[in-house]
Each structure stands twice: as C-alpha cells, then as structure tokens.
Structure 1
Amino acid sequence: MELTFATYNIHKAVGLDRRRDPDRIIAVLNELDADVLALQEADRRIGRRESVLPLEHIEEYTPYRPVPLNHRPHSLGWHGNALLVKRHIRVAEAGVVPLPVIEPRGAIRADLIAGGQRLRVVGMHLDLSGLRRRQQVRAILAHIDRCGHPCPTVAMGDCNEWGLHRGALREFHAPWRVLAPGRSFPSRRPLAALDRIAVSPDWQLAEMAVHHSPLSAQASDHLPVWARLELPKK
C-alpha cells in the first residue's frame, strides 16, 4: 500500500498579501492531493475558535473530510491542529494528545483504516522554546506507546526546529526516522526546514518534497511538505 502524507501550516489562511483567503488555501490542498493532511493554525485563536476554512467548502470543493475531534463545535481541530483524510479512508478513533505547553500549541492523533490496514497519524505544532519542544516530543512518543493496536505511525507538523539533525527532533530515537523534505519557511524565500514528517520503521520512503507552486508561495508563510510512503507486503 502506498499513501501520501502532507503537512501544512496555513497561517490562519492569511497570505503574504495579508488577505485572509480560505479558498486559496483549499486550492493548495487540492494541488497537494495527499491522502492524509495535517494542518496547523487552522482555527482562529480567540472567541469561538472557528475554523478559518469553511467546513462546507472542504466538503464541496475538496476530496477530504476532517477527522472529528468533538471538542469545539466551530473548530476544525484542536489549538489549530487538524487532520484531513480522503473520503475512502475510515477514521477508527481520534483524540487530543496532551502536551506540556506555555503557548497555545498542541497535537492530535487519529487511527485510520486504509486498504484494510490500521495506521496512526499525529499532527503537531511544537513550541518556540527548545526545551519545551523536547518535552512535547517525549509526550507525543509516550502517548503513541500507550495506544492500543500497535501499527504503522506517521507524526508530522510544524516542528519549529531550524536544525536538520539536532534539537528536539533527536527525541525521535531509532528506529524512528525524521524526514526533512526541504526548506519550507518562509514561503517567499525558504530558509528553514521547519515542517517535518517522522515515520515508524514500518514505512518505506518512496519520495518526498516541498510543494512550491505559485499559489502556495502566496497562500501562507509556510510551504506544504509531503512524503509518499509505502507499506511492504508481509
């Protein structure tokens, strides 16, 4: 089985032109055409924490549906973290991953069924503080270890880690692998690979890249990154 996973900090749908344009973000999601998408900054931070992407637009104009978390009725996710899956993928269960936080950051987890295979996905947006990021990665890994049904796992998101092989991402000890598809921030002239995808040893990497299109270069301050992963036959 082969699936494409992507992560994208959509910056509350505010582009480099300082306009909030949800439909522009939705167009980028359609360009990506991933099977599973992790979004960051998908909800407003004040008031009812509404999704910046109208749910009816996701349903009508994309092949995706949000993974339901059932925490805030007007939000797409939790602390801006959301997961979208293509409609042929079934959601077995989903919930919030508790993290030690100072800033309003967070992580979410979903167990999915695709092609008869159970798999686990974590979407995350880590802190600006290096020490806090380490604690958050440890909390995510501990949460995964406590989950029933061990299965192939992907953790992805905006890690706020500028170094390629140091810092908090070293907490993903072998046999985990941290993929850096490329520089994704800032979108106008990318300098840092802040957006990462970590995979359990079950997966084989087929391809990975930064999605750099004329539209994605304007839609957010981050570019999306993606990886096409394969599960070998057993």
Structure 2
Amino acid sequence: MRLVTFNLWSGRAATSGAGRAKPVDLDLLRAAIRELDPDVLALQEVDRRQSRSHHADLAEVAAEAMGARDHRFVPTLAGTPGAMWSLSGPLHHHTGEHRPASEYGIALLSRYPVQHWYDVPLPAIRPSFKVMLPVLRQHLTVGEEPRAAIVARLDTPFGAIAIANTHLTWIPGSGIRQLQEVTRVLGELGDPVLLVGDFNMWGPLPRMITGYRPLAEHRTYPAAKPKRQLDHVLLRGRGPAVVNSRAVRMAVSDHLALVVDFA
C-alpha cells in the first residue's frame, strides 16, 4: 500500500523566480499523479472551478488519474484564496442550487473502499490579525483562511484503517490548537489511525502535540531546495510495516510529495 500526502499548490508548477508560477497544466498534473501511483492520496490546496486552474475540479482530475474508487473534496472557502472569499464546505454549507462559482480546500482519495467519511471543521482562530513586515517596518492586517480535516475509514488489505488529512494554518499558536483539535476528534476512533497533511510546522512539534509516531522524516519545502519538513505522516497504534519513505519533487507544486510504502 502506498500512501502519499501532497500540497498541490493548485496544480501550479514553480519556476526559478521567487513567488512566481507557470500556468496550470492539467496534463502535467495528471502525469504527476500517475507517476506517484498512490493507493491513498491526501491533497491540500485543491482548486475547484477556479479560473487559474481552467475551472477544473482538481480532486476529480487526480481521482481519474490514479484510478481512485472513492474520493472526497472538502472546500474550506468559496472564492479565491488570497483575494475575495467567504466560508464554505464544513464551515458553511451550500445547497446544490446555490453552489459557489469557485472553491478551494483539501481532498482525500482512495483505491480502497471507504466505510465512512467524517468532516472536521477547523475555523480560523482569529478572523484577522496583524503581522509585522520588517522590510516596510509596519504592521499589516490580514485575514486567516479557515481550515478543515477529512477523515476516512478505509477497508484496506490490512483491515480497517482511519486516515485523516488536514492543512493547518501557518500561524504558530493557532496551528498548534488546530492540531490539538484534530487529535481530540481522532481520539474517538479506534486504532490504527494515520494523520497526514501539511501541518505548517516542523521538527518534533507534531509528534509532541499528537503523541503519534512519525513514519517519514524528510524535508519537503520549498521544492527547489527543501529546508524544512512541513508535510507529515503520523501513526497512532499498530499499523502495517513501513518498507520505504521518501520525499519526491514533482513537475507541479512548491512542495515535495511525501511518499510512504507499507509492506
């Protein structure tokens, strides 16, 4: 069984220029997913009906590319991140007749059947806050995007396994509280539990907060010259044996894909 967590960066391909990206190439994205060949795929920064990604449903694109049997997209906001947006998904339900024109969130995809899905809303701790910009020597007030987690109970060759995918805020204190909340919710599920995703934290902090065991320790960000591990795969309880793990640079994203192969 191969498990992959990958911050998709909306399917964009990084260039040598800081903060710049090439236009989204859906064929390039499909090729990247096929190359990874995951049985279970956790994605973050996933677009649906965004103009920058050709109004495609990137979760559907990835599901088709890997041959997923089941998948789920959980939008955390309606609109465009970094521009005009409002709450969406598990934080603000929309009816089919009033579906937002564009959404953004996380997704979990599986070649194995899913017994149950659970959505865990992690609203922004602070709707707005001030950050210091040293270059300008002034504070800037910004809005923090809402966050969420997806949990799936999978029927795998190893038996039932719960897998949770999340993308936490980059604000240190808020990110810790969000990870604590995910861990609390997962405490209601039986072992084994895999917690994966982009935690926006590094070092021993994820292990210390959750009490889970890390299964892959590799630098994943930034993709060009990885300096820190922001993406993680953690295990609670006894799970299948890990035979290999690695961080792989793909043709898309500013993160490396974190891959774990189980016996």
CA contact (8 A) 1:36 1:83 kept: yes
CA RMSD of aligned residues (A): 2.8
User: After superposition, what is the alpha-carbon deviation per residue over 1:98-117, rounded to whole angstroms, capped at 9, x for unaligned?
Assistant: 22424232211111111271
1:83-122 correspondence to structure 2 within 5 Å: 83-86=108-111, 89-101=112-124, 102-115=144-157, 117-122=159-164
What secondary structure is seen at the aligned counterpart in 2 of 1:68? strand
Among residues 196, 201, 208, which one is paired with 2:245 in the alignment? 208
| Corresponding residue SS for 1:134 | helix
- Name the SS for the 1:31 alignment partner: helix
Q: Hey, what's the Cα distance between the residues in 2 that align with 1:9 and 1:128?
A: 14
- Residue 35 of structure 1 and its aligned partner are, at CA, apart by 1.2
Match for residue 133 of structure 1 among 175, 179, 197: 175
TM-fit CA distance, 1:33: 1.2
Deviation for aligned residue 1:34 = 1.8
The 1:54/1:180 distance shift into structure 2, 3 A limit, reads: closer
**Cα deviations across residues 77-107 of structure 1 (Å, max 9, x unaligned)?**
x951101111xx1111112112242423221
Match of 2:105 among 54, 76, 80: 80
**Residue 203 of structure 2, aligned match among 155, 159, 164:** 164
Higher relative contact order at CA 8 Å, sep ≥6: structure 1 or structure 2? 1
- Indicate the larger mover: 11-20 or 62-71: 62-71
Name the CA distance, whole Å, in 2 between partners of 1:206 and 1:59.
25
Q: Rate the CA distance shift 1:54–1:113 in 2: closer, same or farther, 3 A.
A: closer
Distance 2:174 2:183 in 1: 14
Whichever residue aligns with residue 53 of structure 1, its letter is L
Larger radius of gyration between Structure 1 and Structure 2:
2
What amino acid does structure 1 have at the position aligned with 2:259? W
Between the two proteins, the alignment pairs up a number of residues equal to 212
**CA deviation after TM superposition for structure 1 residue 169, in Å:** 4.4
Q: Distance in 1 between matches of 2:49 and 2:149?
A: 15
TM-score by length of 2: 0.71
Percent of residue pairs identical: 26
SS in 1 for 2:262: strand
**Correspondence 1:27 to 2:31:** yes
Task: Assess, with a 3 A threshold, how the Cα gap between structure 1 residues 140 and 45 changes in structure 2: closer, same or farther.
Answer: farther
Corresponding residue for residue 143 of structure 1: 185
Q: Which residue is equivalent to 1:155?
A: 195
Q: Is the 8 A contact 1:92 1:111 kept in 2?
A: yes
Structure 1 residues 59, 189: closer, same or farther in 2, change over 3 A?
closer
1-structure distance, mates of 2:59, 2:175: 31
CA distance in 2, matches of 1:116, 1:179: 17
Cα 1:190–1:116 change in 2 (3 A) is closer
Change (3 A) 1:228 1:19: same
8 Å CA contact 2:194–2:236 kept in 1: the answer is yes
- Equivalent position amino acid for 1:43 in 2: D
